[in-house]
Structure 1
Amino acid sequence: MIHPTQVAEMLNSLPTLTSTASPGPVPTVIQYQVLGEAGHRTLWVTFALMVLSSGLFALLSWNVPIQKRIYHVITTLITIVAALSYFAMASGHAASYNCVTIWDHHTHVPDTSHEVCRQVYWGRYVDWSITTPLLLLDLCLLAGMDGAHTLMAIIADVIMVLSGLFAAFGTEGTAQRWGWYGIGCVSYLFVIWHLAIHGTQMVSTKGASVSRLFNGLAIFTLLLWTAYPIIWAVADGARKTSVDTEIIIYSVLDILAKPVFGLWLLLSHRALAETNIDLGGWWSQGIGSEGRIRIGEEE
């Protein structure tokens, strides 16, 4: 038989339970929007197409005199930079996350919030900040635009691309994201003004064939470029589409705006002698060779 004092000693030896512990913080729910298998395959396919296009453009310049290779050089550089960008994105680099807090409003209970972290490929903006000025340079040279308007169009284009990058990492619920988006759209209007209005006036002096080529390429390019901010507003801006859908649409636009544009330009340039540009001896011989007599050169 157990003595009552032994029972009391056993109870005293048990750990004391207290009710003073406060509840821990409610864990934050984080929703990630990242690329899937379809987006990953699209990045690799686009990379391969950019590499093949670069090889094709280099091949097209093989038998072209160096004095007439300006379009070939610029267009090849465009697809090379794009290939590097897509390789970086496909191999898992050139991407980061932008997390925003989303508030969920309820009727009978307090409001709750959760975070949405979307994958943002900043490598795409690095690509655009280099390739779109080169595309503009192609068109400005084709139209015969002066250096002042060419430089202003290129600067406006760079501001447009960088504004998109800043907006992609902007904070939700403030004027920051859509403010940068608005700055980018205004910059794009300046690009249109310099290219569509001034470029059209300048190219009219180079003949009907060159005018048709420039107008076709310019309209084609501006229509494609108009689609980019629309996709951005739906994807990165409002986050209404998946990352895979965003990647696929941007890839299609990039293929049309770079390899297709380049092939159109180079094949048409070969058939139109009026599109040749005289950059003087600097382009083929260097500055130190200006004025030097070169045997065999046409008089």
Structure 2
Amino acid sequence: MSEWWLWSYVILCAAAMLLFVRWSRDPKGVPQSEYRVVFVILAWSAIWHAVAALGAGRTAIAGHTMDWTHYADWIVTAPLLVFSLVLTATHAVAEKRIGLVTALIVWTFPMILAGPVAEAMESTTARYTSYGIGMAALALVLGLIWGPLRADAERQPAPMAAHFVVVALLLSLLWLAFPVVWILGPPGVEIIDEHTTTVLFVVLSALMKVGWGIVDVGRLRAMSDRGQVTLA
């Protein structure tokens, strides 16, 4: 049954990729970089979900089965999602703060890597410590998004600043949902089983990579079409 969900996600990503290719041919003032980043996110995520659907990518470790395809997906798509959000926040900002962008991207790596490290730990204390480190990295990423990155977004025209708040809030809530599912699943307190965890991760991935990308780029296209903002 898990395979059905995984293949459904792969098909959904493929359909979304076709949509973004079509949009990119009529960009409506949205830079091609926006389309390329979302396309890569969808392609990379679809590849690793296909690997999981084929029954690969699972390793018995520390008394449970670790599906490392999740982490292979997230270690690339998390920094790309941050970069996509930065593009949205700085469309109409002439000066890009490279230090801020670098910090946002760099801190996504411990945020993700804490997961497989925690799963590999035999000690419960060590496992939750690693999980806590990942949560601290997530908190730092969210702090940078809602602090200095939001300040940059507010230097743009009002419609763009409002759009940033919408997409940043959606991304933040989805990012918070992933560690909740993780801690409730087999690596954590085991309230939900492996199948349910897989299904929830698929649903969250669909919302984050397909849904969020369509909302972000779709709203940018609509604003540009209405002449509400000039996209750089």
TM superposition score normalised by structure 2: 0.90
- Which stretch has the larger CA shift, 217-226 or 61-70? 61-70
Matched, 1:223 2:173: yes
Q: 1:275 to 1:167 in 2, by over 3 A?
A: farther
2:196 corresponds to 1:196 = no
Q: Does the CA-based 8 Å contact 1:50-1:80 persist in structure 2?
A: yes
Q: Distance in 2 between matches of 1:176 and 1:66?
A: 50
Residue identity over aligned pairs, in percent, reads 23
8 Å CA contact 1:160–1:185 kept in 2: the answer is: yes
| Pairing 1:276–2:231 present | yes
Q: Which residue of 2 aligns with 1:70?
A: 33
Q: How many Å apart are 1:49 and its aligned residue?
A: 0.9
The answer for the alignment partner of 2:93 in structure 1 is none
The equivalent residue for 2:77 is 131
Report the count of equivalent residues.
222
TM-score relative to the length of structure 1: 0.71
Q: Deviations over 1:91-130 (max 9, x none)?
A: 0112111233xxxxxxxxxxxxxxxxx2211011111010
Counterparts of residues 89-238 of structure 1 (less than 5 Å): 89-100=52-63, 118-144=64-90, 146-173=97-124, 175-235=125-185, 236-238=187-189
Confirm or deny: 8 A CA contact 1:140 1:150 kept in the other structure.
yes
Instruction: Indicate conservation of the 8 Å contact 2:59/2:66, yes or no.
Output: yes
User: Rg: which structure is higher?
Assistant: 1
Residue segments in structure 1 that go unaligned for 5+ positions in a row: 1-37, 101-117, 278-299
Match of 2:192 among 221, 241, 246: 241
Alignment of 1:45-84 (within 5 A): 45-64=8-27, 68-84=31-47
Q: Deviations over 1:213-260 (max 9, x none)?
A: 110000011011111111111112222211110011111110000111
Aligned to 2:216: 265
Which secondary structure state, in structure 2, belongs to the residue aligned with residue 171 of structure 1?
Answer: coil
More helix by share: 2
Cα–Cα, structure 1 residues 265 and 67, in superposed 2: closer, same or farther, change >3 Å? closer
Matched residue of 1:75: which SS?
helix
| Distance 1:269-1:67 versus aligned 2 partners, 3 A rule | closer
3-state SS in 2 of match to 1:206: coil
User: 1:255 aligned to 2:206?
Assistant: yes
The structural deviation recorded for 1:63 is 2.6
CA shift for structure 1 position 55: 1.5
The residue identity in structure 2 corresponding to 1:41 is W
Contact kept, 8 Å, 1:142 with 1:275, in 2: the verdict is no
Give the 4+ runs in structure 1 shifted more than 6 A: none
Secondary structure of the corresponding residue to residue 237 of structure 1: coil
Rounded to whole Å, the distance in 1 between the matches of 2:156 and 2:30 is 19
What is the CA distance between 1:45 and its match in structure 2?
1.0
User: What is the SS of the residue equivalent to 2:60?
Assistant: strand
Query: Structure 2 vs 1, CA of residues 270 and 133 (structure 1 numbering), >3 Å: closer, same or farther?
Result: same
Q: Counterparts of 1:5-24 in structure 2 under 5 Å?
A: none
User: Whole-Å Cα distance in 2 between the matches of residues 67 and 231 of structure 1?
Assistant: 34
| Aligned partners of 1:157 and 1:191 also within 8 Å | yes
